Chains A and B, each alone.
Chain A
Amino acid sequence: MCTVCGCGEGETRLEGEGKGHDHEHAHSHGEGAHHRHDTHHYGRGPAHAHAPGVSQTRMVRIEQDILARNDAYARANRSRLARAGILALNLVSSPGSGKTTLLTRTLRDLQGEMPLAVIEGDQETVNDAEQIRATGVQALQINTGKGCHLDAHMVGHALDELRPKAQSILFIENVGNLVCPAAFDLGEAQKVLILSVTEGEDKPLKYPHMFHAADLLLLNKIDLLPHLDFDVARCEEYARRINPEIPILPLSARTGEGMESWYRWLRLARESRLLGRTPLAGETA
């Protein structure tokens, strides 16, 4: 069990981290398979039942949110990020929306202007983090193993490892999945949803949970529109049925069209995070 927080997820691997976190987790898995053959196991099933009339059962009312633990980690991440003036953005999309391409172009274009950092979430491989580091920006890969989303606890550990600079923008690239990441608050300031025009304009209706949770919609790959039947106006209408106030920016990470609006959005979001805050001791403007 993790000594920092008592965590027990055995599948998660933090890139470059063998020490003190992974090793002891393995025990929480595989036990089930082992015990299934163990018919002499005590305290299981009907053998443990009480005689009629002497039952010791009682009711306990607890009224707790199932995600309470994740939400507590998320709150801790959020206040830690806010203190350091870091704008954390949770990037969500389906696989193949062009998220990593969009991100690497953004990093190349903005890294001279402000500090940036990236947490990369994928089930397997460190390919994306390597691609990000090739831009010169600090990045850390989290492999979720069987997990289909990042959670606040993984992100907390990644923050310990990565140590993003004060006043930076931290991009957290979630696992490509339009379902599960919607439910797991990471402590980010905002969720940015990337939808590519190759995916079909009714995605907002098919995955309403994620579109409802998002704060900004980037409509990527618009350079391909001449070759597709994708109706941008209809897609926007569907997205606003689910999330009436959501801002939508059409762009192409490949040609660069529309990227300037995204950068303006980033600058404004970062600026509003920094205005009026108390700098940390030793922090330079």
Chain B
Amino acid sequence: MHEISLCEGILQILEEQGREHGFTRVRAIWLEIGTLAAVEIEALRFGFEVVCRDTLAAGAALHIEEVPGQARCLACAGEFSLSHRHAPCPRCGGYRLEVTGGDEMRIKELEVE
């Protein structure tokens, strides 16, 4: 459900950028979504299509780059990639981790006219 809110957020940014950069149509959009960001990619795609109907981004191609989770172990200082928030450190088995990447939700680039 909150994927719809995210899509509304994306559309607001597109409309603002359209005013700022003087474009009236978005052809394609590149997003970066972390695998730990709790975003369901399929729901986001569906929501994007629905939210953008009859807007400057109607029919725009949505390219999504998934960014893998990264963490640092606070016990052994090991750095590794993390598939779930509750996964232990692969080196020492500890759970005291600091997530260092993979929770981003960003718009990177647009193709506009």
Asked whether, in the complex, the Cβ of A240 is within 8 Å of the Cβ of B95, the reply is yes
Partner of A242, one of B37, B50, B85, B111: B85
Asked whether, in the complex, the Cβ of B85 is within 8 Å of the Cβ of A44, the reply is no
Q: How far is the CA of A57 from the CA of B11 in the complex (A)?
A: 19
Contact residues in A for B31 (Cβ distance below 8 Å): 66
Interface residue? A35 (CB, 8 A): yes
Main secondary structure of the interface of B (DSSP, over half): mixed
Q: How far is the CA of A204 from the CA of B95 in the complex (A)?
A: 13
Point out which of B1, B97, B99, B108 has the most chain A C-beta atoms below 10 A from its C-beta. B1
Interface residue? B25 (CB, 8 A): yes
Asked whether, in the complex, the Cβ of B13 is within 8 Å of the Cβ of A57, the reply is no
Contact residues in A for B23 (Cβ distance below 8 Å): 58, 60
Q: How far is the CA of A61 from the CA of B36 in the complex (A)?
A: 24
Interface residue? B27 (CB, 8 A): yes
Interface residue? A63 (CB, 8 A): yes
Interface residue? B12 (CB, 8 A): yes
Q: How far is the CA of A30 from the CA of B95 in the complex (A)?
A: 48
Interface residue? B68 (CB, 8 A): no
Q: A32-B54, A56-B113, A68-B13 are in contact. Are A62 and B6 (CB under 8 A)?
A: no
Partner of B85, one of A9, A70, A183, A212: A212
Asked whether, in the complex, the Cβ of A69 is within 8 Å of the Cβ of B9, the reply is yes
- A-B pairs with beta carbons under 8 Å apart, 9 shown: A35-B54, A41-B54, A56-B113, A59-B111, A60-B109, A62-B109, A67-B9, A179-B2, A180-B1
Residues of A within 8 A of B (CB): 8-9, 31-32, 35-36, 41, 44-45, 48, 50, 55-70, 147-149, 151, 179-180, 182-184, 204-205, 208-209, 212, 238, 240-242, 244
